Amino acid sequence: MSLANAPKHVQLAVDLIQLLEENQIDMALALQALEIVQHDCQQKLQQQTESVAKNN
């Protein structure tokens, strides 16, 4: 399967990996930052879900 046909989340993951590698980001540092990003995204997703449920 080519990347162009891959699901959007896989394409984004590949782009993020490439960005980290091209900028020679320390992998331990990247993982720490990704934990923060994951937490932030989970909070925003929960807020969106609650907002949709509230409006229905």
The Cα-based distances of 54 to 40, 47, 50 in angstroms read 21, 10, 6
Q: How confident is the model at residue 42 (pLDDT cuts 50, 70, 90)?
A: very high
For residues 17 and 25, is the Cβ–Cβ distance under 8 A? no
For the cut 80, the answer to whether the pLDDT of residue 1 exceeds it is no
Q: pLDDT at position 56, please? A: 79
Which residues constitute the domain of residue 21?
3-55
> What pLDDT does 39 receive?
98
Q: Which two tokens stand for residue 10?
A: 């896989």
Q: How many domains does the chain have?
A: 1
Interatomic CA distance for residues 43 and 47, integer angstroms = 6
**For residues 18-34, average pLDDT:** 98
Q: Please report where in the chains the tokens 């046909």 appear, as a residue.
A: 5
Report pLDDT for 26: 98
